[in-house]
Structure 1
Amino acid sequence: MKNTVLHKANERGHADHGWLNAYHSFSFANWYNPDKVQFGVLRVLNDDTVAAGMGFGTHPHDNMEIITIPLEGDLAHKDSMGNEEIIKFGDVQVMSAGTGIRHSEFNPNEDKRTKLLQIWLFPNKRNVEPRYQQITLDVKDRQNKLQQILSPNPEDAGVWIHQDAWFHMGKFEKGITETYTVKRNENGVYAFIISGTVTINGQTLETRDALGITNTEKMEITATSDAEILLMDVPME
């Protein structure tokens, strides 16, 4: 039987630190909701706005796959593996934290904000050697279709992670319908609406709403306005 979970934008956790305005789809930091701890291996989905010149100081992670997707502006990254990079709109960054890494992230611009999604997935292997990957995608390849941005396979399009997960992004004009086929029987799909209004399997979703669907092979997505979405196809066990 198909199961769905609806997460409305205004029901997310919210923390405004001045320099950081953060919305949490799942329990994070000081916000805890027992009904919103994770969706399968998807543990964190943070929707962050970082003020000009501000950011996160050096902090540790381990045994987590961490994906960063800038939506606006730039993010400067520095880590204990020796990587120093700027992540921009159109880029996707992943860190497999594995046995442990330390990193910092900040907005390098003094005159504009940075908006980003940061997503954490539990890995399917523990204590791997930490790794870093960053790619630049052609965002035109997601116009009125779904562009794969992440998979388990280094040979496939997008970044890869230690998990049987696939992410796609799509930017649709009003009236466009797209069908997504789930990649793996045991997976569910968590659809996050970046902007606009869409209908997924008959459920209307607005900006920053999310819908989790399990026990389904396909999902039909119709843009009822111009819209942008992120689909996260993840193991449920």
Structure 2
Amino acid sequence: MCKLHAQAQQKECDIRLNATVSSTGNLTNDGKGTYYTGKDWIGVWLNPTRWPDQAFHICMNWPFNFFKTCDSATAPAPTGTRGNRTLLHHITNPVPGGGGKSLGVFTGPGGGNDIAISKPLTATINSFTDMTIGTSLSPLSTEVRFCNSDCTEYFSILFGNSSVMHHPGINGAGSTRPIVSRTSNTTWTISFPPGTVGRLWNRTPEVPTSELYYYEGSLEIKKQ
């Protein structure tokens, strides 16, 4: 069990973060500034208890009340307004020759708009907190999820091996992987550099369909 007062607890689970999201590219912020875990029901986490096979998760409507976490006894309750924040996904750059087309900009909403990175990160590095300061790596799998304006269609972009959220029948074939860099004891950068390719899946049909798209952007994350 995680100890509420022990320093080791902070290394193992539910590390609360703030995130600054890029303002240009295919992943952009909503123009409302930093994303804070607990404010407007946003969750930005390292090693979330909810999903022990994830190293990182950012969600626009985190289910704070639905499950226990390592810091449940001391964690502050969420504040603000549900649905006040979003991430913008510009699905406008299909890889030539694949049959894809520009689909426009997707904004969520809510819990249907998140980004998750698998745990372990690589065959030798388990989590963000295990990285040495000044080093970078490419995680095995990353998944970006969102839906259309009324969530009648659901999408995932996969980078790397497989679905981080365990959606059946989808994979990351033909994709490249983002880069995670540890910049200090409390900060990291998650980057989708120019030329990054993700496999976009429409998970709505009975048989999911996919195409390759360029996806560029970044998140700078910091422990609260």
TM-score band, normalised by shorter chain? 0.3 to 0.5
Question: TM-score, with normalisation over the residues of structure 1?
Answer: 0.32
Return the TM-score normalized by structure 2: 0.33
Pick the structure with more strand per residue.
1
